[in-house]
């Protein structure tokens, strides 16, 4: 207590968490009467890529891994024969008379001897997560391969092999048919297993084995994991970039992302290996494939559910230039261009068009209102420009209203970046996709990056960014407060310049705590729980507290700790001020709002802070670094604020005209 009185005697305002650090003063002037442009209505969005088991085993909650037996060459990945030696039987992967040509393999289960159950179990994705009282729909395509009448026992087992839910299927007949039953779990288990056995002898063919939770987002069959969608929706994202990322490109063109293989009946979706399977030898993921259960239809539906504009990024005839760099010859680009044109028809076309009809058949006759598309991911060099040019021309000829995103390569400066910026203004494109993965200092030093960009030139899409605590792609990177704070400081620059910066998204989005290849990520999860990182809460604050007009801000702060931006929300008249204190000392700020006074109604303050730059959130402490909200009561025309050390403060002030 003594120290408080001592400091108080010198008239210095301190907050409890920084009692030992001398407070600094600053003045912040906001020109409410002189807006400097419009805030981009699509400024903050999200970036989704199937990396870190973000789709299968994550947002797509199918519990069975390799239910189609298509994980080639090891088609039994995820499956194990029952261990009881008293049971007799064989397992074989066959491919004659399959379910369909896109799904050529299936399992023949043969039980030789009645008596003891024989069959297979599935380990799921890092185990199978089930909750007590929740229902799971088991289904399988089956075809009897012998005359005996077989029945199948379906069980969910906990980690001690105790049955915690079961069902039975019988009366198999004829050709391939789907059979199903519902299983209720009597326990909550993070790493359960699925067991399929038969006591009766005979042979049966099985394919597309599925255990799917009934509880999904919007209770949709084949719907998405609700806690993860809720975290996305809470961000109030204005767009959703999909499906990546390098996954768009593939290591080779053969495993590039092809949207047409991801729609329609689930059994027809042609699985491929996930390019992140072998990218980093310190995080090999031999069981990482893309089932496309979460495909382009589910993606468009998700955009609609969370109020985000779709922003697909498509392959332009180039495999990842960090890998094979394989190129489609220039005279063979038609298929790539046609895929892009057809995607617009699938999203927006009337139900009388071939692709619009497919959308309607999947359950969505109304258009998805696609108005922007990216051509290529982190492509660079003349090879890119040569492919982008015919792509962009064909798209603008047919769909002049669809805006195009062009890539500026993987780095925020340098030869590839400069080359892109020399060439792109000559092409019919609208946004340039700039990526920044860099250390926290880079983000602080680049908060003014866009201050001098050409206001009349191409608009910016900051399509992937994240501060890296150690180095790009290092497995030691952490989602710590230091990185999140640096991103917040940088984002004040995006907001101040959002007449130029049209869109921005943190990347990557999701990671399974046991299945990741890349870190940091915005949201982490296990089979049952999930949490937002400090970086998530920065994104959430910026995205939700966004106005419509950019207000000029002048900061006089001798300690050089502060970064700031301000906007006005024309619908409410509220003035929204964001101030990021990047140093440990409290900054006592005098705020001067010219043209208005903070009204008697006050407003709201949101403060995100930690005095520990290494602080992180976790499954056990999901809200350790998260915003605190408090009222700004009767301001009486004065606005003074102590900004805690290492903090992001957002003040939403109800302002009255002076
Ligand atoms: O976000 C992870 C990867 O980083 C993306 O796939 C790629 O575009 C970037 O290099």
Other CB atoms within 10 A of residue 657 CB: 10
**One domain, residues 366 and 452:** yes
Domain boundary among 502, 519, 544: 544
**One domain, residues 310 and 208:** no
**One domain, residues 282 and 189:** no
Residue 656's nearest CA partner among 641, 640, 642, 635 is: 635
Sign of the Cα pseudo-torsion (115, 121, 127, 130, in order):
negative
**One domain, residues 121 and 232:** no
What pLDDT was estimated at residue 223? 98
The average confidence (pLDDT) of the chain is 94
Supply the residue whose CA is at minimum distance from atom 5 of ligand 1.
245
Is the CB–ligand 1 distance for residue 577 below 6 Å? no
Determine contact, residues 201/500, Cβ cutoff 8 Å: no
What pLDDT was estimated at residue 595? 86
Q: Which atom of ligand 1 is nearest to the CA of 437?
A: 4
What pLDDT was estimated at residue 601? 64
Q: Model confidence over 258-314: pLDDT tens digits? A: 999 999 999 999 999 999 998 888 888 889 999 999 999 999 999 999 999 999 999
**One domain, residues 581 and 524:** no
Q: Is 12 inside any structural domain?
A: no
Alpha-carbon gap, residue 41 to 36, rounded angstroms: 15
Beta bridge partners of 94: 106
What one-character DSSP code corresponds to residue 219?
G
Residue 557, domain CATH:
2.60.40.1180
Q: Model confidence over 399-436: pLDDT tens digits? A: 999 999 999 999 999 999 999 999 999 999 999 999 99
**One domain, residues 534 and 571:** no
Classify 602 in phi/psi space as left (phi over 0), alpha (psi -120 to 50) or beta.
left
Residues in CB range of 235: below 8 A, 6 or more apart = 44, 46, 536, 539, 540, 543, 544
Alpha-carbon gap, residue 155 to 161, rounded angstroms: 10
What pLDDT was estimated at residue 321? 97
Q: Is 70 inside any structural domain?
A: no
Domain boundary among 509, 524, 544: 544
User: Which of 46, 54, 245, 435 has most ligand 1 atoms within 8 Å of its beta carbon, as the pocket-test mutant?
Assistant: 245
Residue 490 predicted with pLDDT over 50: yes
**One domain, residues 287 and 152:** no
Is the CB–ligand 1 distance for residue 279 below 6 Å? no
Residues in CB range of 136: below 8 A, 6 or more apart = 63, 130, 156, 165, 182, 183, 184, 185, 211, 212, 213, 214
Q: Model confidence over 540-549: pLDDT tens digits? A: 999 999 999 9
Task: Select the more confidently predicted residue: 509 or 638.
Answer: 509
Q: Model confidence over 359-381: pLDDT tens digits? A: 999 999 999 999 999 999 999 99
| Tokens matching residue 403 | 């805006």
Q: What is the reported pTM?
A: 0.95
Q: Is 174 inside any structural domain?
A: yes
Q: Model confidence over 426-475: pLDDT tens digits? A: 999 999 999 999 999 999 999 999 999 999 999 999 999 999 999 999 99
What one-character DSSP code corresponds to residue 39?
P
Q: Taking residues 16-44, report their average pLDDT.
A: 83
Residue 527 predicted with pLDDT over 70: yes
Residue 7 predicted with pLDDT over 60: no
Alpha-carbon gap, residue 525 to 240, rounded angstroms: 20
Q: Model confidence over 103-161: pLDDT tens digits? A: 999 999 999 976 789 999 999 999 999 999 999 999 999 999 999 999 999 999 999 99
**One domain, residues 537 and 388:** yes
Rg (CA), the chain: 28
What one-character DSSP code corresponds to residue 331?
G
Residue 440, domain CATH:
3.20.20.80
Q: Is 17 inside any structural domain?
A: no
Domain of 119, in residue numbers: 79-213
Residue 483's nearest CA partner among 533, 517, 528, 531 is: 533
Report residue 83's pLDDT band, with 50, 70 and 90 as the boundaries.
confident
Residue 467's nearest CA partner among 511, 506, 495 is: 506
What pLDDT was estimated at residue 6? 30
Number of domains in the chain: 3
**One domain, residues 183 and 290:** no
**One domain, residues 534 and 594:** no
Q: Is 8 inside any structural domain?
A: no
Q: Model confidence over 182-195: pLDDT tens digits? A: 999 999 999 999 99
What one-character DSSP code corresponds to residue 332?
G
Alpha-carbon gap, residue 93 to 198, rounded angstroms: 18
Q: Is 9 inside any structural domain?
A: no
**One domain, residues 318 and 375:** yes
The percentage of residues in the chain with a pLDDT greater than 90, rounded to a whole number, is 90
Q: Is 444 inside any structural domain?
A: yes
Distance 245 CA to ligand 1 centre (A): 5
Residue 15 predicted with pLDDT over 70: no
Supply the residue whose CA is at minimum distance from atom 8 of ligand 1.
245
**One domain, residues 355 and 413:** yes
Residues classed as catalytic: 378
Q: Is 7 inside any structural domain?
A: no
Task: Select the more confidently predicted residue: 457 or 1.
Answer: 457
Residue 16 predicted with pLDDT over 60: no
User: Which of 47, 52, 244 has most ligand 1 atoms within 8 Å of its beta carbon, as the pocket-test mutant?
Assistant: 244
User: Which of 55, 249, 256, 378 has most ligand 1 atoms within 8 Å of its beta carbon, as the pocket-test mutant?
Assistant: 378
| Tokens matching residue 339 | 């895929």
Domain boundary among 521, 544, 567: 544
DSSP letter string over 246-275?
GGGT-SSGGGS--GGGGSS-GGGS--EE-G
Is the CB–ligand 1 distance for residue 250 below 6 Å? no
Supply the residue whose CA is at minimum distance from atom 6 of ligand 1.
245
Residue 137, domain CATH:
2.60.120.260
């Amino acid at each position: 207590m003594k120290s408080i009185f001592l400091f108080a005697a010198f008239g210095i305002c301190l907050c409890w968490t920084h009692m030992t650090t001398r407070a600094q003063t600053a003045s912040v002037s906001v020109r409410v009467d002189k807006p400097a442009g419009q805030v981009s209505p699509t400024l903050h969005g999200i970036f989704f890529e199937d990396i870190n088991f973000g789709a299968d085993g994550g947002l797509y909650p199918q519990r069975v891994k390799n239910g189609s037996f298509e994980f080639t060459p090891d088609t039994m990945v995820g499956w194990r024969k029952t261990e009881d030696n008293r049971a007799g039987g064989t397992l074989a992967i066959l491919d004659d008379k399959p379910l369909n040509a896109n799904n050529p393999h299936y399992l023949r289960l043969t039980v030789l001897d009645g008596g003891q159950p024989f069959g297979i179990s599935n380990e799921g994705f890092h185990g199978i997560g089930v909750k007590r009282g929740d229902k799971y729909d088991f289904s399988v395509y089956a075809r009897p391969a012998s005359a005996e009448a077989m029945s199948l026992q379906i069980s969910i087992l906990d980690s001690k092999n105790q049955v915690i839910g079961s069902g039975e299927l019988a009366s198999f007949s004829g050709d391939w048919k789907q059979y199903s039953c519902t299983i209720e779990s009597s326990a909550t288990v993070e790493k359960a297993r699925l067991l399929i056995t038969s006591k009766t002898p005979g042979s049966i063919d099985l394919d597309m084995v599925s255990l799917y939770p009934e509880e999904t987002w919007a209770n949709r069959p084949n719907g998405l994991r609700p806690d993860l969608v809720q975290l996305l929706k809470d961000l109030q994202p204005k767009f959703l970039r999909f499906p990546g990322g390098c996954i768009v490109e593939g290591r080779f063109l053969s495993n590039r992302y092809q949207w047409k293989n991801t729609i329609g009946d689930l059994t027809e979706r042609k699985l491929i290996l996930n390019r992140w399977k072998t990218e980093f030898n310190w995080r090999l993921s031999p069981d990482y494939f893309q089932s496309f259960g979460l495909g382009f239809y589910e993606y468009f539906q998700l955009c609609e559910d969370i109020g985000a504009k779709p922003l697909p990024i498509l392959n332009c005839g180039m495999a990842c230039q960090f890998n094979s760099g394989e190129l489609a010859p220039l005279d063979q680009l038609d298929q790539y261009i046609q895929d892009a044109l057809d995607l617009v028809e699938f999203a927006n076309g009337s139900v009388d068009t071939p692709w619009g009809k497919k959308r309607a058949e999947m359950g969505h006759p109304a258009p998805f209102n696609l108005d922007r598309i990216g051509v290529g991911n982190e492509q660079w060099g003349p090879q890119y420009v040569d492919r982008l040019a015919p792509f962009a021309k064909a798209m603008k000829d047919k769909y002049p209203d669809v805006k195009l995103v062009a890539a500026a390569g993987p780095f925020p400066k340098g030869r590839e970046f400069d080359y892109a910026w020399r060439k792109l203004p000559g092409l019919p494109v609208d946004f340039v996709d700039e990526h920044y993965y860099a250390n926290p200092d880079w983000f602080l030093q680049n908060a003014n990056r866009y201050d001098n960009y050409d206001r009349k030139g191409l608009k910016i899409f900051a399509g992937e960014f994240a501060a890296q605590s150690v180095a790009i792609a290092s497995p030691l990177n952490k989602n710590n407060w230091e990185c999140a704070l640096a991103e917040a400081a940088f984002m004040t620059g995006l907001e101040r310049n959002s007449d130029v910066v049209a869109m921005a998204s943190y990347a990557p989005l999701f990671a399974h705590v046991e299945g990741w290849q890349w870190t940091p990520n915005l949201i982490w999860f296990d089979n049952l729980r999930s949490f937002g990182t400090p970086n998530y809460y920065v994104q959430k604050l910026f995205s939700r507290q966004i106005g419509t007009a950019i207000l000029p801000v002048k900061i006089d702060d001798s300690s050089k700790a502060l970064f700031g931006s301000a906007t006005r929300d024309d619908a409410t008249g509220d003035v929204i001020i964001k101030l990021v204190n990047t140093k440990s000392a409290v900054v006592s700020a005098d705020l001067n709002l010219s043209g208005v006074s903070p009204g008697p109604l006050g407003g709201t303050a949101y403060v995100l802070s930690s005095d520990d730059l290494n602080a992180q959130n976790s499954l056990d402490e999901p809200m350790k670094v998260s915003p605190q909200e408090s009222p700004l009561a009767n301001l009486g025309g004065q606005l003074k604020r102590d900004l805690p050390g290492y903090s992001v403060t957002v003040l939403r002030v109800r302002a009255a005209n002076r």
